[in-house]
Structure 1
Amino acid sequence: MHTQNVNVKTAAQESTGRCDSNLTTSQFTDLFFWVLAASEGEPQPAIFTPPENATELTLINDECPDYISVWVVDGRPVAAAMPLDNFYRVISSSLTH
């Protein structure tokens, strides 16, 4: 698994929130919520283990202790999480294609 971090001072600042994939903070947040919507109604694993070949994109907000992550495989988002809250959502169907 590979990790890419996005450091931002606040969620509203667009100019400081970029990751290696050139996502703005707003685009990253949209991607996170897209994964939540896409995983709705799908069976969720009891324990989350990122796919071995996944890249983790992480958005860190310096104003609070939490962060959010999205895992991508071959350019497709497959999971999203707020790890410190033990909240994970997996698009199960995307892992089998």
Structure 2
Amino acid sequence: MSWIDIGALEDIPLRGARTIKTALGCVAVFRTGAGEVFAASDRCPHKGGPLSEGIVHGQSVTCPLHNWVFDLNTGAAKGEDGSIATFPVRVESGRILLDAAELTARSAA
């Protein structure tokens, strides 16, 4: 894996998200209420809603447009036919690291 530093953990509020722009599209980086960090495509496959503006609850995010719920571990839509891309992410010394190799291996949007 090829890890890149994308920012400080404290820059993302609990139950919040931030986006990063990549050559393949925007990736949303989510922080759960328990402080876990996940990275996924920022675009809902249903109507293209910005998932970074959705509600983070547990290890899921709800699209702000039509309430589709996505599992941040797998990207699968709960109760719907669809999914989003997820990307390996980790936290080291308060910094968020994203696997750049995964971003180049598949499309984020």
TM-score of the pair, normalised by structure 2: 0.33
- Write 1 or 2 for the structure with the bigger share of helix: 1
TM-score of the pair, normalised by structure 1: 0.36
- Write 1 or 2 for the structure with the bigger share of strand: 2
